[in-house]
Structure 1
Amino acid sequence: MVVGAGIVGLAHAVAAVERGLSVTVVERDDRAVGASVRNFGHACITAQTGEALRFAEHARKTWLHLGERAAFDVAECGTVVVARSEEEFAALEELAAERGRDQVRLLTSAETTEAAPVSADNLRGGALLPLDLRVEQRRACAAIAEWLAAQPGVEILWSTTVLDVEDGLVRTGRGTLRGDRVVVCAGHDLDRILPETAEEGGMRRCVLQMLQLRAPGVRLSPALLTGTSMLRYPALAATEGARVLRARLTEQRPELLSASVNHMMTQLPCGDLVVGDTHVYDRTPDPWSSEDFDELLLAETRALLGRDDLAVVRRWQGVYASADGEFLRTRVSPGVTAVAVTSGIGMTTAFGLAPSVVDSLF
């Protein structure tokens, strides 16, 4: 039994099917509408470290496999990281020296503008992370769920709210379900089902502000990261260049740090850009968006692309589970396990995390 049909829950269902297990997925909504569709569609592989990097590398293969079988787009387009200062380029040089050319290819300023539609003003250079993927995020969950539902021994129950779980039982608003093992993948709403587990794991909600922008004529195949991304992704954040960058931004651009900005973007199939994001953390966040945050993202995007003709098409709040570690895996009882990606990298790592969890259940 899997509680939750976001990308983490679906990844556990896929892992179960691959192992010949029957699986029932229970989802409170009639489709995925949470973190799994409100993101960049970016599988950020190379910028991870440790366990997350291992999970991401495994997940990369699964994404490519599922994209073919479930008929949604997974592009091997990589990521371009833009460096607009010496310390940013130094961070990329450090990562390139550690990982090698297969994972990090340094770019000149001219090569950077050729790879991504960024302004040449104050551009120091960049890097291509060729292993990263771009996933059609607004279709992927639905396509994977449809593919799963067609597999023998799989049932997906939509619009079914889970009230309680215990060994062998999942109690829902539509009745009680039974299964040998229960995996709860409720993301940031884990505290609605297993409040003590969420509290012990130090879980909070991270609320993001994101924009969909119309940018006529802009073509962006890879994902695009900037200097603020170097402060958030661990492989880059650990470099001396990132340390110097943080010190400079603390003095010169404190508004970027106070909003926890990770300024990055991807392009949707329709041509619009997904741009974000800011971060606010709380167990119960306020429901209000900040216009200042949106204006900050817009100003950064105009400067990065050298464009003033960007039109906002949509604004939304993303939300994901946050804790001190990158993953929460708690055996609540012999037959119940709670799982969450608590670092905003569910799309990147879920298909590597899930097999390890499913293998540990039996």
Structure 2
Amino acid sequence: MATEKVAIVGAGIFGLAHAWSAAQRGHSVTVFERTTVASGASIRNFGMVWPIGQPDHSRHLAIASRQRWLELAAESGIWVNSYGSLHLAHHGDEWEVLQEFYHQAACTEFGSHLNLLDREKALARCSAINPEGFIGALSSDLELCVNPTQAIRKIPKYLAERWNVEFQFESTVIECHKGHVRTSSGKVRPFDRVIVCSGHDLETLYPEVLQNIPMKKCKLQMMRTVAQPNSWKLTSHIASGLTLRHYTSFRTCQSLQKVIDRVSHESPELDDFGIHVMASQDDLGRVVLGDSHEYGSSIEPFDNERINALILADLHKIIRLPEWKMESQWHGIYAKIPDSIAVITSPEPSVQVCTGLGGAGMTLALGIAENNWQIWNGELH
């Protein structure tokens, strides 16, 4: 295998994933990042690695990504918690969907990671569940939790020290052409391969290509509590019945339409703002809460307090926390392509543009990057 000089544009999770896979193959890697530290969507999320939300055709990439996260944690010391997930049912129609999903998966390898928990077993497993109206839960042991800010800012140090990856922070790439990368400082450097992982920036590099791909930008709003007192633990990622409307994996369930219709009738504002509620806890004991989804022209630079209030109202219905005081609130923006897991395209020889992961960057990036390098290096037969 010939050694290549590889440029990566963007030090978010997709860029870092491609840098790691390239370096492991012996390539000489340089990562360009326009800011002093990555601060985009890759650090503005739950930190959930979420195979259960992926449909059958892409779940293998999520599981591969999961394995890569565990490998990365073992090698670098980055915090990863393999505490799985619980989908909670507080309505009869939600419980129908969870049962149907479980039985659909029962005869597959994926199904071996799932369990249906009745009310008593679920409450015994997770003290955070609000027992009022609670029926049962679907558990999965596949999901991981990472601290996205810590991970995205520690991975470069690990890649530099272990794999000799060069990082050029505060270096904006303004042009890629025929294997040459030009930065805003005027420097031009030659590379054998350029991989553009610039997130939701669809305007700087190859806009003429990306404008013809049906991607749209999505804004989400999230928040995080202060550290919970007395070392209180959430014990699992928590997802409410509202999430069943959001993740494509549940669309195979005929009973899902009942949930969609009920939410639309009872709480149309949740549909208006794309709200589905989840919770995860980081290594510092803080609980990350969210989220909402606004698309395209509806995106405003100003956060909407009504959205945060709706998120919190529904979270109070499904979980109880010892402390609800907020440490921080934020929004993130990512690029998403409908009905596809990502955009992988080559606008010119030796250049790949990799973006459009939507809200599944932590879940898919490491698996897709490894798969891409297997394809580019001719390792798949």
TM-score computed with the length of structure 1 as normaliser = 0.95
1:1-362 pair list within 5 angstroms: 1-100=7-106, 101-116=111-126, 117-174=128-185, 175-214=187-226, 216=229, 218-282=232-296, 285-306=299-320, 310-324=324-338, 325-362=340-377
Moved over 4 A (4+): 215-218, 306-309
- 1:133-157 residue CA offsets vs partner (Å, 9 max, x unmatched): 1112221112211111113452111
- Measured after TM superposition, the shift of residue 197 of structure 1 is 2.1
- 1:97-132 residue CA offsets vs partner (Å, 9 max, x unmatched): 122352211011122222321111111100111111
Larger deviation, residues 33-42 vs 279-288: 279-288
**SS in structure 2 of the partner of residue 62 of structure 1:** helix
Q: Are the aligned partners of 1:163 and 1:193 in contact in 2 as well (CA < 8 Å)?
A: yes
Larger deviation, residues 194-203 vs 178-187: 194-203
Aligned AA (1:202): P
Distance across 1 between alignment mates of 2:250 and 2:298: 30
- 1:19-78 residue CA offsets vs partner (Å, 9 max, x unmatched): 221111111111121111111010001221144212101111100000111111111100
- 1:189-210 residue CA offsets vs partner (Å, 9 max, x unmatched): 1322221222111222111010
Structure 2 unpaired stretches of 5+ = 1-6
Aligned AA (1:115): R
**SS in structure 1 of the partner of residue 37 of structure 2:** coil
- 1:160-192 residue CA offsets vs partner (Å, 9 max, x unmatched): 011011221111023112210111000101322
Aligned AA (1:56): A
Distance across 2 between alignment mates of 1:45 and 1:143: 24
**SS in structure 1 of the partner of residue 39 of structure 2:** coil
Larger deviation, residues 335-344 vs 40-49: 335-344
Q: Are the aligned partners of 1:40 and 1:265 in contact in 2 as well (CA < 8 Å)?
A: yes
Distance 1:49 1:158, change over 3 A: same
- Measured after TM superposition, the shift of residue 326 of structure 1 is 2.0
Distance across 2 between alignment mates of 1:213 and 1:194: 39
TM-score computed with the length of structure 2 as normaliser = 0.91
Aligned to 2:3: none
Aligned AA (1:236): F
Distance 1:308 1:273, change over 3 A: closer
How many pairs were matched up?
362
Q: Are the aligned partners of 1:167 and 1:334 in contact in 2 as well (CA < 8 Å)?
A: yes
Distance 1:196 1:114, change over 3 A: farther
- Measured after TM superposition, the shift of residue 244 of structure 1 is 1.1
Distance across 1 between alignment mates of 2:311 and 2:196: 34
Q: Are the aligned partners of 1:21 and 1:153 in contact in 2 as well (CA < 8 Å)?
A: no
C-alpha RMSD over aligned residues: 1.7
Q: Are the aligned partners of 2:23 and 2:29 in contact in 1 as well (CA < 8 Å)?
A: yes
- 1:220-265 residue CA offsets vs partner (Å, 9 max, x unmatched): 0211101111111111233122221001111111111111012001
Q: Are the aligned partners of 1:263 and 1:275 in contact in 2 as well (CA < 8 Å)?
A: yes
Distance across 2 between alignment mates of 1:66 and 1:322: 26
- Measured after TM superposition, the shift of residue 330 of structure 1 is 0.8
Distance across 1 between alignment mates of 2:289 and 2:131: 20
- 1:257-298 residue CA offsets vs partner (Å, 9 max, x unmatched): 111012001012222211000111116832011110011111
Q: Percent identity?
A: 30
Q: Are the aligned partners of 1:341 and 1:350 in contact in 2 as well (CA < 8 Å)?
A: no
Distance across 1 between alignment mates of 2:17 and 2:192: 18
Distance 1:320 1:150, change over 3 A: same
Structure 1 unpaired stretches of 5+ = none
